[in-house]
């Protein structure tokens, strides 16, 4: 099972192709569109979200809301393309308009322009933009439905915004209520403080990052492998999370805090009562590169967005003159969007791992094989 995406921030559309989906998976299009809408929301978002109204359009691989087993192709149109047609049209455009040479620190602008031999970083920034994640969220909605058919659920919340943190423990069932909150935080007092900080940052032309927690419930043990380093489940999940724009750190379970603890306090002791279980979950549901049947717990650190209204010191990479970084329409804070995107990429990575172990050309076979696992 594999996903590939294409498309630019202000191009005609974002496109995705999913290869390897079994047949007879029922597709809930309104549910996919709900996740696309959630990706566009959250406190601190910019004006671009008022222009777009993302919806998936399935082009192939589905008939009468059931997958057929062929590659599933879809697109998410960019409404803003009409405002950029004369600048980004593939059929021909004026590339001298809105040239991007005052490259932004923290963005792909400079490294990408040099790598791809560009005299204008616009083409690089168009693809590097987090707008691309709309395609991954659309695909993630499909992968989540594949996993849900097996009883595997994915959810999450925002744990901190620009240093304002919530470290309380929450049951998995509590997490979904975060989606109705302006910052996807479950502690109302911390969320209010974070919103006030975002308002201050907006006044200063600055941006904020945060920490997002993603949890997976219902995945049986044995997915991933200890036999080859590249097939470890934590490698797949962390790689998927780090592939999300602005994510600079990922941990599983106790993560970095485990480094400061004694082994006797870190490792989850094993018990048996009709089945194996643990009373703690510092491992975050993964041991030896394999799921152990407990909840998977992943946290990702999102850096502040690199496009600042007040701009940072930089160099025009053509003239080599000292300049202030180019200003682009952007968000102050996009942690809610990151939470939705992270759920989606975790779903993608898990679906690949499940498919690799179970195979199956149709959902009946997949469900039977999953049910037969210990």
The residue with tokens 């455009």 is 93
Whether the predicted pLDDT of 198 surpasses 60: yes
Q: Mean pLDDT, the chain, as a whole number?
A: 95
Domain ranges of the chain: 2-372
Does residue 319 have a pLDDT over 90?
yes
Burial 120-138 (b: 16+ CB within 10 A, else e): bbbbbbbbbbbbbbbbbbb
Residue 274 scores a pLDDT above 70:
yes
pLDDT higher than threshold 90 for residue 7? yes
Model confidence at 30: pLDDT above 70 = yes
- Residue 40 reports pLDDT greater than 90: yes
Q: Is the pTM of this model over 0.85?
A: yes
Residue % of the chain over a pLDDT of 90: 92
d(CA 294, CA 135): 30
Closest CA to 341 of 54, 11, 83: 54
Question: Is 80 exceeded by the pLDDT of residue 329?
Answer: no
Helix locations, 257-334, DSSP H: 263-266
Cβ atoms of residues 75 and 15 within 8 Å = yes
Length, in residues, of the chain: 374
> End-to-end CA distance of the chain, in Å?
23
> Tokens 């202000």, residue?
10
Q: Is pLDDT at 51 greater than 80 in this prediction?
A: no
Identify the CA nearest to 158 among candidates 75, 113, 214, 93. 214
> What is the distance between the alpha carbons of residues 76 and 57, in angstroms, rounded to a whole number?
6
By three-state DSSP, how is residue 142 classified? helix
Looking at the chain, list the stretches that DSSP marks H as alpha helix, in order from N- to C-terminal side: 29-40, 48-51, 81-88, 109-115, 122-128, 133-148, 172-175, 188-204, 233-242, 263-266, 335-358, 363-372
272: buried, middle or exposed (CB in 10 Å: 19+, 13-18, 0-12)? exposed
**Is 286 in a helix, a strand, or coil?**
strand
Lowest mean pLDDT among 123-127, 181-185, 323-327, 353-357: 323-327
Looking at the DSSP assignment, which residues form a beta bridge with residue 234? none
Reply yes or no on whether the pLDDT at 282 is more than 90: yes
Partnered with residue 216 across adjacent β-strands are 154, 296
Q: Do residues 32 and 142 make contact, with C-beta atoms less than 8 angstroms apart?
A: yes
Cβ–Cβ < 8 Å for 282, 266: yes
Provide CATH code, domain 2-372: 3.60.150.10
Q: Report d(CA 338, CA 344) in Å as an integer.
A: 10
Structure tokens at 227: 């036999």
How large is the average pLDDT for residues 109-123? 95
């Amino acid at each position: 099972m594999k996903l590939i995406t294409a498309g630019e921030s202000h191009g005609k559309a974002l496109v995705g192709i999913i290869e390897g989906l079994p047949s007879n998976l029922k597709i809930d299009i309104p549910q996919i569109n709900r996740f696309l809408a959630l990706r566009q929301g959250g406190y601190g978002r910019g004006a671009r979200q008022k222009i777009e109204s993302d919806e998936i359009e399935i082009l192939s691989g589905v008939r009468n809301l059931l997958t057929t087993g062929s590659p599933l192709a879809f697109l998410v149109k960019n409404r803003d393309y009409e405002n950029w047609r004369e600048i980004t049209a593939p059929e021909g455009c004026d590339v001298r308009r809105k040239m991007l040479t005052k490259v932004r620190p923290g963005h792909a602008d400079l490294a990408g322009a040099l790598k791809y031999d560009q005299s204008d970083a616009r083409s690089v920034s168009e693809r590097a933009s987090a707008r691309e994640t709309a395609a991954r969220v659309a695909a993630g909605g499909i992968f989540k439905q594949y996993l849900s058919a097996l009883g595997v659920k994915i959810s999450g919340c925002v744990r901190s915004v620009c240093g304002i943190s919530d470290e309380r423990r929450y049951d998995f069932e509590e997490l979904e209520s975060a989606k109705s909150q302006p910052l996807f935080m479950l502690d109302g007092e911390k969320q209010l403080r974070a919103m006030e900080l975002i308002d201050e940052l907006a006044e200063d032309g600055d941006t904020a990052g945060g920490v997002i927690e993603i949890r997976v419930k219902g995945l049986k043990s044995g997915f991933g492998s200890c036999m080859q380093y590249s097939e470890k489940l934590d490698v797949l999940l962390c790689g998927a999370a780090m592939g999300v724009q602005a994510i600079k750190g990922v941990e599983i379970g106790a993560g970095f805090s485990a480094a400061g603890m004694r082994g006797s306090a870190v490792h989850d002791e094993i018990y048996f009562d009709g089945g194996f279980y643990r009373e703690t979950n510092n491992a975050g549901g993964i041991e030896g590169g394999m799921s152990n049947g407990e909840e998977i717990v992943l946290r990702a650190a999102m850096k502040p967005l690199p496009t600042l209204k007040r701009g940072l010191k930089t160099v025009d990479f053509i003239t080599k003159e000292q300049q202030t970084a180019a200003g682009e329409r952007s968000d102050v804070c996009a942690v809610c969007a990151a939470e939705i995107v992270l759920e989606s990429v975790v779903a993608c990575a898990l679906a690949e791992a499940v498919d690799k172990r179970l195979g199956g050309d149709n959902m009946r076979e997949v469900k039977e094989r999953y049910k037969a696992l210990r």
